[in-house]
Amino acid sequence: MKADSKPVAPAQAAPARGGFSSTLGALFATIGSAVGLGNIWKFPYLTGENGGAAFIIVYLLSTLLVGLPIMIAEIMLGRAAHANAIDTLRKLAPKKSFPWWIIGAMGALAAFLIMAFYSEVAGWVFAYIVKAFSGSILSTDPAVTSQGFTSLVSSPWLSLICQWVVLIVVSFVLIRGVSKGIEATTRRLIPILFVLLIIVGIRSVTLPGASQGLAFLFTPDFTKLTGDAVLIALGLAFFKLSIGMGTMITYGSYYRDDQNVPVSAIRAMGSDLLVSLLAGIAIFPAVFAFGYQPDAGASLLFITIPSVFASMPLGNIFMVVFFILAAIAAMGAMLSIMEVPIAYLSEQFSLSRTKATLITAGLLALIGSTAALSNSVLADVKVLGFTFFDLFDYLTSNIMLPIGGLLIAIFVGWVWGPEKIKSALTNQGALKNQGLVNVIIILLRYVTPLLVLVVLLDGLNLLPF
C-alpha cells in the first residue's frame, strides 16, 4: 500500500455525526422547519393588520429575492462543513479574517429568544386543542372567546405549564436524534398537515360571503403599505424560512453530499409559501363571511378564529382539526430552533444528545418564563416599550435575523466567493444546474444584501431620506 493512501485510523476520525437518512427525509425536515406558527399564526395576523394583498406581494418579493438565496447559502455552508452553525463558519472562513463565527453565535442566541415566545404560543395552541374538544371556547361572541383567551394567558401557572409541556414534548423527539427523531417525526406529520389544512380551506371558501375574504387576500391596495410594513414583511420572510440564525446551516450539515441543495431549498420554500396561502384561504374568507374584522393582531388565532368556527355548521370539528394542524406545524419548527444550540453544545463540549437537549430545554424554561409571564406578573415590565414576549419577537424577526442574513450573504458572496459556490451547488460539477447557480450568485452578491440593508435601515428610521 502506498504511503499516501493509508486509511484514516478510526482513533483519528471525527466522531460520527447524525444526519438525515435520505433526500426526501431531509426535504421533509426542512419543510417542517419552515412551516410553523409563522404560517398559521403570524402570516395571517400580520397580513390582516397590514392591509392584505399588498403586504403579501412585498412578502413574496422578500421571500424570492432575499429569503431563498440566503436559505440556499445556509444549507450549502452547513453541507460543506458538516458541523454546527458556529463551527461551520469557523471552518469555512479564512484564518485571521473577520470573526464570521459570530453569525453562528448570534444565531444560537436568537434561537433561545425565538423559542422563548414560540414555545408559549405553541403552548396556547396545545391548550386550545383541549378547549376545542371540550367546546369551552366555542362562542360566536368575541367577548366570550376573548375572556377564554385572557383567562389562559393571565394565569401565571397555566402559562408556565403550557410552555413546559411543549418543551418536554419537543425534547422527547430531539433526544431520539436527527434521523430517528426529527426526520421520522416530520415525515409523518407534514403530509397530515397538508390534508387537514386543505379540509379547513375548502370549508372556508365554500361559505356564503367568502369572496370578500379572497379579495382581501388577492387584490392589492398599495396605499395601505408603510415603510414599517415593508420591514415587517422582510422580517416575516426570514422567520418563515428559518434563516439568518443558523437553523438552515445546522440542517444543511445533516444533508447528504449528493443532495441537490438549490432544488431542495426551492421545494421547501414553495411548500412554505403554499401553506401560508392555504392558511390565509382557510382563515380570511371565514372571517369576512361572518362579519369579523381581520386586524385583531396577535390574538386573531385565539379570539377571532374560535368565534368564526362557532359561527359555522360543524364548527367544533373544524376547530379541533385547525388547532391540531397548528400544533403539528409548531412542532416541526421548534425541533429545528432547538437543534441549533443542541448541535453546538453536543459538538463543542462532547456532550451526549440527551444532555445537550436537557440543558437547552432547562435554559429555555428559564428564559422562556419571562415571555410566558408577559401577560400576567411581568405585564408591566417593559424594555424599550415592549413586554418580554413582544421584545423577543420584534428583536429576532426584524433585527437579528435580517442582520444574520445580511452577514451570510456577504460572507458567501464576497468572502467564500463564486468559485466555491459554483462547486458546492453543482456538487462539484455532478449536477447540470449552472444557469440556476449563476442567478443565485448574482442575487447573493448584489441584490440580497442591498435589499436587506435598505429595508433594515429604512424600517429602523436610520435613512436620511
- Residues contributing to the site for ligand PHE (CB under 6 A): 33-34, 36-39, 114, 239-240, 242, 245, 247, 333, 336-337
HSE-up of residue 64 (Cα within 13 Å, Cβ side)? 6
Rounded to a whole number of angstroms, the minimum distance from the CB of residue 175 to ligand PHE is 19
- 43 versus 416: smaller Cβ distance to ligand PHE: 43
Identify the CA nearest to 163 among candidates 12, 363, 5.
Answer: 363
Rounded to a whole number of angstroms, the minimum distance from the CB of residue 67 to ligand PHE is 10
- 289 versus 391: smaller Cβ distance to ligand PHE: 391
Angstrom distance (rounded) from CA 100 to CA 86: 9
- 29 versus 437: smaller Cβ distance to ligand PHE: 29
Q: What's the alpha-carbon Rg for the chain, to the nearest Å? A: 22
State in Å, rounded, how far the first CA of the chain is from the last one: 70
Hey, is 386 helix, strand or coil? strand
- 303 versus 337: smaller Cβ distance to ligand PHE: 337
Alpha carbon of 151 to those of 310, 376, 379, 388, 417: distances in Å? 19, 10, 14, 19, 54
Phi, psi for 428 (deg, rounded to 5): 55, 40
- 88 versus 307: smaller Cβ distance to ligand PHE: 88
Residue at grid coordinates 405553541:
122
Distance of CA 67 to the CA centre of its chain: 12
Rounded to a whole number of angstroms, the minimum distance from the CB of residue 329 to ligand PHE is 7
- 142 versus 272: smaller Cβ distance to ligand PHE: 272
* b/e code 342-359 from CB counts within 10 Å (16+ = b): bbbbbbeeeeebeebbbb
Contact between 405 and 107 under an 8 Å Cβ cutoff? The reply is: no
Angstrom distance (rounded) from CA 99 to CA 236: 27
- 106 versus 138: smaller Cβ distance to ligand PHE: 106
- 126 versus 292: smaller Cβ distance to ligand PHE: 126
Rounded to a whole number of angstroms, the minimum distance from the CB of residue 74 to ligand PHE is 11
Rounded to a whole number of angstroms, the minimum distance from the CB of residue 186 to ligand PHE is 12
Phi, psi for 375 (deg, rounded to 5): -105, 5
Rounded to a whole number of angstroms, the minimum distance from the CB of residue 235 to ligand PHE is 11
Angstrom distance (rounded) from CA 288 to CA 211: 8
Look up residue 59 and give its three cell numbers: 412578502
Distance of CA 250 to the CA centre of its chain: 14
Structure-derived torsion over alpha carbons of residues 205, 207, 210, 211, reported in degrees to the nearest 10: 80
Rounded to a whole number of angstroms, the minimum distance from the CB of residue 34 to ligand PHE is 5
Angstrom distance (rounded) from CA 223 to CA 51: 9
- 36 versus 294: smaller Cβ distance to ligand PHE: 36
Rounded to a whole number of angstroms, the minimum distance from the CB of residue 332 to ligand PHE is 8
- 108 versus 289: smaller Cβ distance to ligand PHE: 108
Q: Specify which residues 320 forms β-bridges with.
A: none
Rounded to a whole number of angstroms, the minimum distance from the CB of residue 211 to ligand PHE is 28
Residue at grid coordinates 424577526:
397
Rounded to a whole number of angstroms, the minimum distance from the CB of residue 129 to ligand PHE is 18
